[in-house]
Amino acid sequence: MELSKRTIKGLSYLQNVNVISDETFGKLVEITISHVCEKPDAISVSQIYGSKPDIIKAVFADLTILLVEAGRHSYDKEKLSNYLQSVQISGPRIDKICESYSKYRTTIKRCLENIGTSLPHVVDVSWCLDYCIKSNTENSVGMPLYHIRLSTIKQSETIFLKFTCTTQQLQELVYKLKDAVRHVEKIANT
Amino acid sequence: MEEVDNIIIHSLRQIGCDVEDNITNLSGFQTELVIDATVRCLNIIRPGLGLSTVLPENMTARFRLGAALAQACLDLGYKGDIGYQTFLYSSEVDLRRVFMFLIEKLPKECDKSLNEPTSRIALLEKSIASTVAKDLSSSWLPPYCHKQGPHCRGRTTTAYNSIELDLPIAGKDEDFQNYYIHYQRPINEQASNQRLLPSVISHNARLIYGKPTDILEKLDWLNEQKEEFGEAVHENQEILSRFTLNERLQFAKDNITEEKSPFTESPVKTPVGVSLTKEEKQELAVENAKMECETLRNTTEELQTEIRKLNVKLAQLTTTRQAEEKELAVRQEQRRIKARTYDLLPDGEENIKKLEAAIEAGANKLIHLANQWERHRGPLIEKYRDERAKYSSKASASQKKVDELKILRDREQELLEELRNKDQQYAQLMADVQKLPKEINRSAYTQRILEIINNVRKQRDEIDKVLADTRKIQKEINTLTGRLERSFTVVDELIFRDARSNEASRKAYKLLATLHSDCSELVDLVEETGATIREIRDLEEQIDSESTKNVGANLERITADLKQMKQETAILTAQLQNKNS
């Protein structure tokens, strides 16, 4: 994990009791976590501005950055506090932040997992076997045909992928799939 | 042999053999179990042999499997006598030897854990492997059951859309502060809910790795660098504001030119329209107003340029005025001096003398003052030098301390890093320990091994004792035979000398000869009995070892198998004939 100097400087404001009171601090952490977990609740940041809105805004942003980055690197509580110590930020308030982070760690990670671009996921397959008797070019074809429908999910949207293939083509596909499975198993075993 | 069997069975259970609990030694192993255990061992030692763990029904297939197993063992370097019979018609001793060999060849787990790498890439690969393995082991679920967990991993629901966040930057001037305090919105309002996290990630990345692209950002960046060195940078900010001004002016001009283009067409349009509806009138009015605006703007611009010109002229005029005023002052001064001289001119001699005296007095006073100044200055300079020396020594000491502090900081950093690494290693090792099978038997085994070693030592001592005894007896026998030889020759010579003259001596000599030969015969006989007894013991051992191979039972099984094979052959030939006919 890496944070810029500006963010670290902003986080060091959190230690200052004169700038941010205990009550404001608790609310700030709560609000930040609720926003990172994508569950914004009733309290908005503007209600805790007090006399220093610019600092509260900056600290709110820096705290958000810290939590998001920690979640991105899958840090646990220990690792996070170690990191903060290594950039010379420590104290009872930081411990509190680490505690809240470890409490919401899985939620933050899940929220982050949901973001991004990915290839469609194949989740299901349905098929049926047809027998082609005749076609306009051939009097007797006599060939089995597989109709395959793959259900894929992309951005929580189900997309169906339909195609028709002969037995040989299907066999080739199955071999390729088996090959892929073998590769994955090889990765799992190393 | 009990211990060896226990160890073998324990090892076989560890590699996944289904050895039943009531089997305590190798004599209880059935043929199926023997084949199963051997194939498992071979698969672990050399994966990819492709042998089946199930004993086939068919006799020939069984024979082939046995032969393949024997060949695999020989390939691994087994030195003893081995063949299909070792597995199919097993004798306990042979089996024990084979299993001991195979289990020794099994790869040790401690080897693996010892050279486990701890580098970052290796850890990443390991975590990938464990995640993939976990995913592979999870069962398939229909898609409508996917809510959370491993099935959804890697499946995103929102695209990565980020916007640039606007955050307060410390050390800006008052206008910026004012903006930050009153108008800037918090980041959650700048970016909507789904865009917040991507924007935050992008923002952080930009803060860390971002390089300025346009000139404003570059200037900002430069300013920041200077701030870090603790220097004031007001000038640059002015430059910055001038840049923004320029840019704004440029934009404004662009807007004007863009706006101009539609107006140039409008006058052409108006005469074409014959009847002016209300709307058109309105439009015309608007256009007129626009035209007016345009002209007004043009006039404003002209006026502005004029003002600028006038300003320039004004500046020029002020500078000339200032120069002339200066000249005037110089002239006035000259005039004053000249007037004075004219005043003094009437009685020149007197006045010259007075002036000289005044000059003298002034010079004297000056010297006096200089002396006084020197007197005051000397000690002060001394003091100043002292203070300076003190200060520099203090500064150097503090510099030293700062350096020391820096070194200590670095050290602390290093130690922290090391601590983290150690923690990581510790955690990994703990995980490894938990992964290892819980071997409760280990202490029992070591105790047993120690006991066995003690027994062996005792037995060796006894053997040594017996050997020493034998050697002693051998020595005694040798000395006795030597003495016998010597006394016999002495007696032989004595009696032989007397035998010519004395009849009794002759008889005695004869008797001596027979006695000697009889005694040697007796000794020979005793030795022979010993050899025979030894031979008998050997033979008995051989008989024992042969009987452990339970040849009888095996022979019965072999004949039964032979019979089965014959039957199978007969059935096959019958089938063949049936087909042919």
pLDDT of residue B258: 44
Residues in chain A: 190
Which residue among A72, A112, A124 places its CB closest to the CB of B143? Answer: A124
Quickly state the pLDDT bin for A20 (edges 50, 70, 90): confident
pLDDT of residue B276: 58
Question: Contact B156/A117, CB-based, under 8 Å?
Answer: yes
Averaged over B360-372, what is the pLDDT? 95
Bridge partners of A148, per DSSP, are A127, A163
Distance, in angstroms, between B143 CA and closest chain A CA? 6
Bridge partners of A160, per DSSP, are A151
Question: Contact B129/A188, CB-based, under 8 Å?
Answer: yes
**Taking the domains of chain B in order of start, what are their residue ranges?**
2-107, 273-345, 368-438, 442-543, 550-581
Q: Are residues B127 and B434 in contact, defined by beta-carbon separation less than 8 angstroms?
A: no
B180 touches chain A (CB under 8 A): yes
- Express each pLDDT in B491-538 by its tens digit: 888 888 877 777 888 888 888 889 889 988 998 999 999 999 999 999
Question: Contact B156/A4, CB-based, under 8 Å?
Answer: no
What interhelical angle do B92-105 and B2-14 show, nearest 10? Answer: 50
B148 touches chain A (CB under 8 A): yes
Which positions in chain A touch B188 (Cβ < 8 Å)? 35, 40, 45, 60
Averaged over A127-140, what is the pLDDT? 88
pLDDT of residue B259: 45
Residue B342, burial from CB neighbour count under 10 angstroms (0-12, 13-18, 19+): exposed
| pLDDT averaged over every residue in chain A | 84
- Tell me, what amino acid is at B579? K
Buried b / exposed e across B114-152, counting CB within 10 Å, b at 16+?
Answer: eeeeeeeeeeeeeeeeeebeeeeeeeeeeeeeeeeeebb
Distance, in angstroms, between B158 CA and closest chain A CA? 5
A110 touches chain B (CB under 8 A): yes
Question: Contact B416/A158, CB-based, under 8 Å?
Answer: no
Question: Contact B201/A124, CB-based, under 8 Å?
Answer: no
Quickly state the pLDDT bin for B273 (edges 50, 70, 90): very low
Among chain A residues, the shortest Cα distance to B132 is held by A188
Among chain A residues, the shortest Cα distance to B184 is held by A54
Question: Contact A60/B143, CB-based, under 8 Å?
Answer: no
Which positions in chain B touch A50 (Cβ < 8 Å)? none
Distance, in angstroms, between A21 CA and closest chain B CA? 18
B78 touches chain A (CB under 8 A): no
Question: Contact A36/B207, CB-based, under 8 Å?
Answer: no
Say yes or no to pLDDT of B249 above 80.
Answer: no
For chain B positions 524-543, those within 8 Å of chain A (CB to CB) are none
Question: Within 13 Å and on the Cβ side, how many CA atoms surround B142?
Answer: 2
Which of these ranges, A180-184, B30-34, B262-266, has the smallest mean pLDDT? B262-266
Question: Contact A38/B197, CB-based, under 8 Å?
Answer: yes
Say yes or no to pLDDT of A53 above 60.
Answer: yes
Which residue among B133, B157, B180 places its CB closest to the CB of A188? Answer: B133
Which positions in chain B touch A188 (Cβ < 8 Å)? 129, 132-133, 136
B142 touches chain A (CB under 8 A): yes
Distance between CA atoms of B218 and B239, rounded to whole angstroms?
A: 13
Averaged over B339-361, what is the pLDDT? 85
pLDDT of residue B70: 86
Distance, in angstroms, between B420 CA and closest chain A CA? 8
Distance between CA atoms of B347 and A35, rounded to whole angstroms?
A: 102
Token pair listed for B251: 């934009």
- Express each pLDDT in B177-199 by its tens digit: 888 887 888 787 787 777 888 88
For chain B, how far is it from start to end, CA to CA, in angstroms?
60
pLDDT of residue B398: 94
A188 touches chain B (CB under 8 A): yes
Cα→Cα distances B227→B216, B220, B221, B234, B505, Å: 16, 10, 10, 11, 137
Which residue among B170, B188, B198 places its CB closest to the CB of A40? Answer: B188
Distance between CA atoms of B71 and B445, rounded to whole angstroms?
A: 32
B384 touches chain A (CB under 8 A): no
What interhelical angle do B551-580 and B59-76 show, nearest 10? Answer: 130
Q: Are residues B96 and B75 in contact, defined by beta-carbon separation less than 8 angstroms?
A: no
A111 touches chain B (CB under 8 A): yes
Which positions in chain A touch B168 (Cβ < 8 Å)? 54-55, 57-58
CA-nearest of A66, A43, A44, A13 to B197 is A66
Distance, in angstroms, between A39 CA and closest chain B CA? 9
CA-nearest of B49, B35, B41 to B89 is B35
A136 φ, ψ (degrees, to nearest 5): -70, -20
Distance between CA atoms of B251 and A142, rounded to whole angstroms?
A: 74
pLDDT of residue B142: 78
- Express each pLDDT in B4-41 by its tens digit: 788 788 888 877 777 777 777 777 788 888 888 888 88
Which positions in chain A touch B156 (Cβ < 8 Å)? 113-118, 155
Among chain A residues, the shortest Cα distance to B125 is held by A190
Which residue among B132, B154, B420 places its CB closest to the CB of A118? Answer: B154
CA-nearest of B176, B159, B156 to B167 is B176
Q: Which stretches within chain A are classed as H helix?
A: 5-12, 22-36, 53-72, 77-86, 92-113, 167-189
Q: Express as a percent the part of chain A with pLDDT over 70.
A: 98
Distance, in angstroms, between A118 CA and closest chain B CA? 7
Distance, in angstroms, between B159 CA and closest chain A CA? 5
| pLDDT averaged over every residue in chain B | 82
For the residues of B197-209, what is the DSSP string, one character each? HHHHHHHHHHHHH
Which residue among A2, A72, A158 places its CB closest to the CB of B201? Answer: A72
Which of these ranges, A72-86, B262-276, B340-354, B516-530, has the smallest mean pLDDT? B262-276
Averaged over B79-108, what is the pLDDT? 80
Token pair listed for B1: 């042999």
Among chain A residues, the shortest Cα distance to B195 is held by A115
Averaged over A128-138, what is the pLDDT? 88
B423 Cα distance to chain centroid? 13
Cα→Cα distances A127→A186, B374, B463, B565, Å: 29, 112, 80, 48
pLDDT of residue A127: 92
Which positions in chain B touch A82 (Cβ < 8 Å)? 416, 420
pLDDT of residue B403: 95
A157 touches chain B (CB under 8 A): no
Say yes or no to pLDDT of B240 above 50.
Answer: no
Which positions in chain B touch A115 (Cβ < 8 Å)? 156, 158-160, 194, 197-198
Question: Within 13 Å and on the Cβ side, how many CA atoms surround A57?
Answer: 24
Question: Contact B208/A4, CB-based, under 8 Å?
Answer: yes
Say yes or no to pLDDT of B227 above 80.
Answer: no
Question: Contact B207/A6, CB-based, under 8 Å?
Answer: yes
Bridge partners of A125, per DSSP, are A150
pLDDT of residue B529: 95
Say yes or no to pLDDT of B550 above 50.
Answer: yes
For chain A positions 27-56, those within 8 Å of chain B (CB to CB) are 35-36, 38, 40, 45-46, 53-55
Q: Express as a percent the part of chain A with pLDDT over 90.
A: 17
Distance, in angstroms, between A162 CA and closest chain B CA? 17
Which residue among A45, A82, A190 places its CB closest to the CB of B125? Answer: A190
Token pair listed for B160: 């990565």
Cβ-based contacts under 8 A for chains A and B: 129
Quickly state the pLDDT bin for B108 (edges 50, 70, 90): low
